[in-house]
Structure 1
């Protein structure tokens, strides 16, 4: 039976992925920052929950020690933990900037760093980094979220070169707004005395919530694709895009280039 480690598995896409892998015969190491939040999956066969904070090297090392006592091998790691921050640069706050960088990017770095030695000693393994279509295109009010996801893309591609000799594959996965509670939990900058900012925040927030509500079939597509990727590791670095929104945005950016793409966003999002 193969084993996969998933971060941020207490809710959303991480939780759905854990359940999907477990139901397909995998051992799932479901890590989360609060075991109470993930209590409803702890009784599912093949799912094993561990406390792990991806922002803390000490927490990662402590969890790693327990995990390796329970599992002789780990076949794959899905770096899924992530948060959102929707803010104007002028109104951004250090605490929120630090949080999103620490979770979305440094969390991926620290988890990869911790488990590469495990994969290297096994002479096989797979690192699947959950990015976002935000890692490939740039949209209004995404300065911080998009930056962290583009950092994940660059980090993953560079890291893939290092691991070729050890039979460790690396890939990233992008998708749009899945119908989870992610958008509801996004931290936003406070309402300001600047009418233009307030209008744009309301417009973008409404648009994202509408897109999320429409994507009811996206989460199953994501979990199915992740299982397919894990069961068929590609030795070459790959970027996988899942869902209509992600594939359309990816294609538009590639075909139009950044200047025309920028004009399209200005016209249809900021009109």
Structure 2
């Protein structure tokens, strides 16, 4: 199973916690490979701790990139202040990994893996460039004023996916130049961007992506934060989308915050 995270210094701590959540749910598995893409400075600082964390538990493939991604456009809105240009790093993964893997499970650094990922990994992608989950808060192309750059060929009621969990079909992704076309979109609409990388991916993959059940990217942690973990809720990946996260003020106490603190304490032991 090839699992990827891409992060800058703003999310390095949280990425390690997310990695620990994967390991926590897959004990004794020796087929896990973690592709971690970050800057050269972050890689130099984190590599020793990452190697201790993964020793005997998974293989580390540490990838680095320069700072060009920092020049990509951002949305200057207070409600998106928690988002860094590190969001664009996921677009670099398919070319950097090349033919070393045929599929890749990309996860944002603000997720907790809560169960076995094998059923997701085994999903038949056929000729789709990616599989993803419909966004919980931006359900269609027309939601929140619509995707900048969408046209009459895009059904306003078409489902819109969240880019925090992506099962990437790497040969198809590269064949269809998904990353390059996303970069072209970002350049063309730099002054009109809304959810930059996500809008780009939704336009480029329009009509070509495979829809996954919400258990693989549950974005509604606020509904479950205060309750004991429900026995009937098969959440495999909890995504703390938005500004409220287990490590921020205002996140309601509950088992998800408790698990985050326990995972973070474990990660601190590898430092």
Q: TM-score normalized by structure 2?
A: 0.35
Q: TM-score normalized by structure 1?
A: 0.35
Larger helix fraction of residues: 1
Q: Which has the higher contact order (CA 8 A, sep 6+)?
A: 2
